[in-house]
Amino acid sequence: MSDANASPAAPVSWAQKLQAEWLLLLFVALTAALALLDPQPLAKYRHWLQLPTLAGLTGLLIAIQGIRDSGLIQHAAVAVVARAHSLRSLGLLLITATALLAMVLTNDVSLFLIVPLTLTIGGISNLPVLRMVVLEALAVNAGSTLSPIGNPQNLLLWQHSQLPFLHFTLAMLPAASVMFALLVVLTLLWLPRDRIELAPDRIDGQVSSRRLGACSMAALAAMVVLMEYHHAPLGAALLLMIFALLARSSLVRIDWLLLLTFAAIFLGLGHAAELQPVRHALDRLDFNQPLTLYAGGILASQLISNVPSTVLLLDRAPDAIALAVAVNVGGFGLAIGSLANLIALRLAKQPQGLRLFHFVSIPFLLVCAPLVYLVCRWLD
């Protein structure tokens, strides 16, 4: 919370704003360059833009902003801190909640709930916020791996393979278990043993608007259901109209540049994945070999993210489960490996966030990838 006597913050220059949006600028430049070098029909760009996904993110941003503005997150933060005795126990509680939510609400929805909660907890305690957000980004990748509906790549592969829900889940259990076990070890090693120290002057557990909170929670639940049944654009349109009439100030505070960033990423990566040199290179590989498929899925995820990698390799992979394991492991490592990583870092808006994420996530991938492969091959 800001000090009432503090001097006003200096205005942010356009150069500083552009520097903060380097990811957006990078993918706008990539999209423009590819459009000039390899022009494609308009229908292709509409396909790459993934409008249902963008609509889903829009609805989630609106609902979560309403929950933030209502004071519900602050109230929940006080309740969570009251149940933890140390920073490590609080960290374990948060990563477990994040992983469980990712299994049932998808990885991006769980981050939209957990990261604001973490930021609020950090504001009233000595919790190292950036470390916790990095751990939560890893936790959604681990948790969503287990569920056919935990992330877009699993949903696509589950529907493509037509495997029963339980069969898919059991097949992914070894990989998800290794990921989460490593995450627990990392949490215990990385978070300090210190007891939680509260800042009493910053604690405000009162709900400022129960009506806004209740409506926003209902909106979030409705948005998740509509996304599940492929009606995200309808849900986003309804929420925009409702909030424009009843809570316009919440709409103003939404991070709309996040949506533009993802639109640019979808266009740039979608186009890059369909370039002829990329497809020719893939045609030379034998994806019937388990190690080739595994390494290829991970490497492709590091270059173009795991969802486009899944689309790219879908018809080349003879084993949907093996591909699912590969692209989920590929969500670790570089931030672009999973869009959930970028969502977590963007929601946190912490200095040096990308650097610290890579400092942890790349070694995590280097340890996790061989362990998951060995365990899955041993159990096969």
Measure Cα distances from 176 to 203, 296, 298, 324, 329 in Å.
Answer: 36, 19, 15, 11, 9
Taking the C-alpha atoms of residue 317 and residue 288, their distance in angstroms, rounded to an integer, is: 7
Per-residue pLDDT of 215-264, as tens digits, reads: 988 998 898 888 878 898 999 999 999 999 988 888 988 888 888 988 99
CB atoms within 10 A of CB 5: 5
Taking the C-alpha atoms of residue 28 and residue 261, their distance in angstroms, rounded to an integer, is: 8
Name every residue whose Cβ is closer than 8 Å to that of residue 154 and which is 6 or more positions away in sequence. 144, 145, 147, 148, 168, 172, 324, 328
Six-digit token string for 288: 């019937």
Per-residue pLDDT of 79-138, as tens digits, reads: 888 778 899 999 999 999 999 999 987 888 889 889 999 998 998 889 999 999 999 999
Mean pLDDT of 51-79: 85
**Total residue count of the chain as it appears in this document:** 380
Pair 297, 290: CB distance under 8 Å = no
Pair 71, 213: CB distance under 8 Å = yes
What pLDDT is recorded for position 23?
83
What pLDDT is recorded for position 142?
96
**Confidence grade of residue 4 (pLDDT, cut at 50, 70, 90):** very low
What pLDDT is recorded for position 5?
41
- Cα 367 → chain centroid: 21
SS (H, E, C) the chain: CCCCCCCCCCCCCHHHHHHHCHHHHHHHHHHHHHHHHCCCCHHHHHHHHCHHHHHHHHHHHHHHHHHHHHCHHHHHHHHHHHCCCEHHHHHHHHHHHHHHHHHHHCHHHHHHHHHHHHHHHHHHECCCHHHHHHHHHHHHHHHHHHCCCCCHHHHHHHHHHCCCHHHHHHHHHHHHHHHHHHHHHHHHHHCCCCECCECHHHCCCCCCCHHHHHHHHHHHHHHHHHHHCCCHHHHHHHHHHHHHHHCHHHHHCCCHHHHHHHHHHHHHHHHHHCCHHHHHHHHCCCCCCHHHHHHHHHHHHHHHCHHHHHHHHCCCCCCHHHHHHHHHHCCCCCHHHCHHHHHHHHHHCCCCHHHHHHHHHHHHHHHHHHHHHHHHHHHC
Q: Higher pLDDT residue, 5 or 169?
A: 169
Q: Higher pLDDT residue, 291 or 155?
A: 291
Share above pLDDT 90 across residues of the chain, in percent, rounded to a whole number = 46
Q: Is the pLDDT of residue 3 over 80?
A: no
Q: Which amino acid is at 331?
A: G
Taking the C-alpha atoms of residue 296 and residue 94, their distance in angstroms, rounded to an integer, is: 32
Q: Which amino acid is at 33?
A: A
Six-digit token string for 357: 């994420």
Instruction: Please tell me the pTM assigned to this model.
Output: 0.84
Q: Is the pLDDT of residue 203 over 70?
A: no
What pLDDT is recorded for position 110?
87
